[in-house]
Amino acid sequence: MPTIRIQTEAFDSGAEMAAISRNRTDIGAVASFVGLARDMNHGDDVRAMVLEHYPGMTEKVLAGLVDEARSRWALLDVTLIHRVGRLLPGDAIVLVAVASTHRGEAFSACEFIMDYLKTQAPFWKKEETEHGARWVEARASDDTAAARWTGS
């Protein structure tokens, strides 16, 4: 039932979010997150970014994250889409939408999936800036965010 896609094509985040509850009357809450490519990072103009991934492992990790979220919370549906390849500022990189009966589960599961995706899923970003191309470094705050979900 969950939708998981890794794709080079752009996606319409509004349409994807609306689709999760279309023709259903049992969903009370949809929490969603869209991560977008920005035109600025660490003070430099970013003209584009290239997202590399590890085909095979990526699919496995994302499916595992969604399964883990479904085992922790009572979810009615999950959509997870991640782009790879070359993206321009303003493009949606990732979408996570979680449907549930009540909002608490939907919010928690959505944030959990994003936190784990950020630290576990084998994607890497390379930014093209005015000073040349550079690989984005992992942020310590992402490890901190993911650590919230362990041992609770």
Partner 1 sequence: MTLRILYFARLRERFGQHEETLDFAGSTAADLIAQLRARGGVWAEELAAGRAFRVAVNQNLVAFDAALTENAEVAIFPPVTGG
The residues in 123-142 that bind its own copies, with binding defined as CB under 8 A, are 141
Contact pick of 43, 137, 141, 150 for partner 1 (by CB under 8 A): 137
Of partner 1, its own copies, none, which one does residue 51 interact with (CB within 5 to 8 Å by kind)?
A: partner 1
Which lies closer to partner 1 via its Cβ, residue 109 or residue 121?
A: 121
- Provide the minimum distance between the beta carbon of 24 and partner 1 in the complex, in angstroms, as a whole number: 19
Output the smallest distance, CB 24 to its own copies, in A.
6
Per partner kind, with CB cut-offs from 5 to 8 A, the member of its own copies, partner 1, none near residue 31 is: its own copies
Q: Is 26 left (phi over 0), alpha (psi -120 to 50) or beta?
A: alpha
Cα distance between residue 95 and residue 82, in whole Å: 7
Q: What is the largest CA-CA distance in the chain?
A: 52
Instruction: Report, in this order, helix, strand and coil percent for the chain, each rounded to 5.
Output: 30, 40, 30
| Cα-based torsion angle of the residue sequence 57, 63, 65, 71 in order, rounded to the nearest 10 degrees | -150
Residues of the shown chain interacting with its own copies in the complex, contacts defined by CB under 8 A: 12-19, 21, 23-40, 89-90, 92, 101, 103-104, 106-107, 110-111, 114, 141, 145
